[in-house]
Amino acid sequence: MYASLPIRLLLRKSTKIVQYPGGLTGKPHRAGQGIIRKDENSEGTGASNTKTRPSKSRLVLATTFRSLRNPDYRIYATSQLISNCGSWIQMTAISWLVFELSDSAFMLGLVNFLRQSPVLFLGLAAGWLADNFQRKKILWWTKVAMTIQALALGVLTVTGVVELWHVCVLATLLGIVNAFDMPAKQAFTFNLVKRRDLVNAVSLNTSSFHASRSLGPVIAIFVVHFLGSRVGEGTCFLLNALSYLFVMWALFKIKAGAEPPNKSGGSKKKPLHSIPAAMKFIVANKNVLRIFALGTVSSLLCMQYLVLMPVFAKTVLSRQIDGFGMLMSGAALGSFVAALLLANRGKGQDRLGRGIVYASIGFALALIAFSLSRHFLLSCLLTAIIGFCSTMQLSASNAVIQLSVEDQYRGQVLSVWMIVISGLGPVGGLVVGYLASQIGAPVTMAACGGLALVLALTFLVVPFSTMSPRR
């Protein structure tokens, strides 16, 4: 019955025309065939230009950075990149300042303990606040307090009156503020992106942190070399204070996160009721419990390489602050690569679970190798491997936890995770710093890596099961 119809009409009925980006049109076709561009030059002449589909590299970029399509997250991520850079500038300068003032590995561990230990005592309360009050407002006030702390440390150092006790007191104050900042900051990401983009957003947050970790030490080295020890170190602290202003501006611009997560319930949940519920969730979810166990091993043993890095740079590898900065930047580069790889994948919680175990094993092996190295370039390469493995483990752990927990307990569960990662770390740092002052940094790091390796290997016989996402 179609015999009387024009051929053009038959084609129109039987062929679906697809509009592609950039003015490309054509019918669905097999891979490798061209797409006809419909334009003035080809129309009526029978000529046609062929153009392949978007390249694989462009598709990878679109997948890796897909969370940045959200305007609120894009503003927040940009401000965090600047602020993280300032934080690493300060962290590099303060480690070198403490080592110059004390010439003691133990004091490095003590200052690190004072800076991170408050989360042990305040973490659960801070998580409850993040679940029952405006996360955006919590973040704004913590940034105000951090700005004041950095300004005070900067002025004391630039004027040349800074003493070790000043650093200890201000490090403790920063630790108290950080205890309230971290759960709110981690949970705030959930308010900015859709659930399907959560792993990607968490990974991009980690990428931002470690990209700034590469750049921050380099800036600190340049400033200290150019301006001298005290003035340069103080300027680093002032630059960090300036970086917090960008986050405060971003929080004013962001619309999300204006309401507390539990507002729909009518009244705020009491800490004595909600905190045990969050702990019950952690114990009941076997995969999350395993992640917390591996995180405890890494926090107590593996992450202490950051405490000992100034000692390795100066006493083991015979370098000054430039060598210290290069070692830190090597670790940051490896971390950045790991975070980008995780952002590109962003799927498969069971695969993430296995990756966490393998990364923990690689982390421990790299620490042992680093403790044995006496060649600077080899040590830089090993720090890159350390950074890659540590970030693959911790970033994947954060993502799996976020995907597994209900939003009403998100801040509290993440606060327990912050206690494991940031609260237990200072305890390990204090012990590691003391051991390094007694038996040497290389032996101490090798012992930490060996013990962590044995513990991580036990998780190979306990596989991660496939987890169903929870809302």
Measured CA to CA, the distance from residue 450 to residue 411 in angstroms comes to 34
**DSSP per-residue string spanning 180-223:** HHHHHHHHHHHHHS-GGGHHHHHHHHHHHHHHHHHHHHHHHHHH
Measured CA to CA, the distance from residue 434 to residue 441 in angstroms comes to 10
**For position 221, what pLDDT does the model report?**
85
Among the ranges given (126-130, 225-229, 237-241, 265-269), the one the predictor scored with the smallest mean pLDDT = 265-269
**For position 463, what pLDDT does the model report?**
58
Confidence of residue 204 (pLDDT cuts 50, 70, 90): confident
Measured CA to CA, the distance from residue 189 to residue 175 in angstroms comes to 22
For residue 403, which of 83, 310, 395 has the smallest C-alpha distance? 395
Measured CA to CA, the distance from residue 439 to residue 181 in angstroms comes to 36
User: What pTM value is reported for the model?
Assistant: 0.66
Confidence of residue 288 (pLDDT cuts 50, 70, 90): confident
- Segment 392-405 shows an average pLDDT of 80
Over residues 276-287, the pLDDT tens digits come to: 776 777 788 777
**For position 470, what pLDDT does the model report?**
45
Measured CA to CA, the distance from residue 144 to residue 156 in angstroms comes to 19
**For position 124, what pLDDT does the model report?**
78
Which own/partner contact pairs does 316-320 have at CB distance under 8 Å and 24+ positions apart? 316/374, 316/441, 316/442, 317/374, 317/376, 317/379, 319/376
Positive or negative, the CA dihedral 238, 239, 240, 244 is: positive
* CB contact at 8 A, 112 and 307: yes
For residue 1, pLDDT beyond 90: no
- Segment 112-119 shows an average pLDDT of 83
- Segment 31-58 shows an average pLDDT of 49
Q: Which amino acid is at 33?
A: Q
Reading phi first (left if > 0) and then psi (alpha if -120 to 50, else beta), residue 103 is in left
**For position 53, what pLDDT does the model report?**
62
**For position 16, what pLDDT does the model report?**
45
For residue 57, pLDDT beyond 80: no
Confidence of residue 403 (pLDDT cuts 50, 70, 90): confident
For residue 44, pLDDT beyond 60: no
Q: Report the half-sphere exposure of 408 (CA within 13 A, side-chain side).
A: 15
* CB contact at 8 A, 91 and 151: no
CB atoms within 10 A of CB 382: 25
Place of tokens 């790299």: 366
The residue among 251 and 51 whose pLDDT is bigger is: 251
Place of tokens 């955006």: 136
Domain ranges of the chain: 15-53, 60-461
Over residues 226-249, the pLDDT tens digits come to: 888 889 999 999 999 999 999 999
Q: How far is CA 419 from CA 27, 28, 44, 196, in A?
A: 56, 53, 70, 27
Mean pLDDT of the chain: 78
Fold classification of 60-461 (topology level): Growth Hormone; Chain: A; (1.20.1250)
Q: How far is CA 327 from CA 94, 284, 369, in A?
A: 16, 40, 14
For residue 420, which of 271, 309, 305, 288 has the smallest C-alpha distance? 288
Among the ranges given (88-92, 169-173, 217-221, 414-418), the one the predictor scored with the smallest mean pLDDT = 414-418
Measured CA to CA, the distance from residue 78 to residue 84 in angstroms comes to 10
Over residues 301-313, the pLDDT tens digits come to: 888 888 888 889 8
- Looking only at the bridges linking them, the beta strands covering 50-51 and 18-20 are unpaired
Which own/partner contact pairs does 40-47 have at CB distance under 8 Å and 24+ positions apart? none
**Quick one: CA torsion of 345, 350, 355, 358, rounded to 10 degrees?**
-170
**For position 89, what pLDDT does the model report?**
92
Over residues 404-460, the pLDDT tens digits come to: 777 677 777 877 887 788 778 778 888 888 898 889 999 999 999 999 998 888 877
Angle, CA 241 vertex, CA 237 and CA 245 arms, to 5°: 160
Query: Which residues, 6 or more positions from 102, have their beta carbon under 8 angstroms from its beta carbon?
Result: 108, 164
Most confident of 123-137, 243-257, 347-361: 243-257
- Segment 236-264 shows an average pLDDT of 82
For residue 265, pLDDT beyond 80: no
Measured CA to CA, the distance from residue 417 to residue 119 in angstroms comes to 10
Q: Over the range 386-421, which residues count as b (16 or more CB within 10 Å of their CB) and which as e?
A: bbbbbbbbbbbbbbbbbbbbebbbbbbbbbbbbbbb
Measured CA to CA, the distance from residue 85 to residue 239 in angstroms comes to 9
Query: Which residues, 6 or more positions from 252, have their beta carbon under 8 angstroms from its beta carbon?
Result: none
Over residues 334-361, the pLDDT tens digits come to: 888 887 787 766 555 556 667 888 899 9
**For position 400, what pLDDT does the model report?**
80
**For position 372, what pLDDT does the model report?**
94
Query: Which residues, 6 or more positions from 244, have their beta carbon under 8 angstroms from its beta carbon?
Result: 83, 86, 143, 144, 146, 147, 150
pLDDT above 70 coverage of the chain, percent: 76
For residue 88, which of 280, 331, 289, 274 has the smallest C-alpha distance? 331
**For position 434, what pLDDT does the model report?**
86
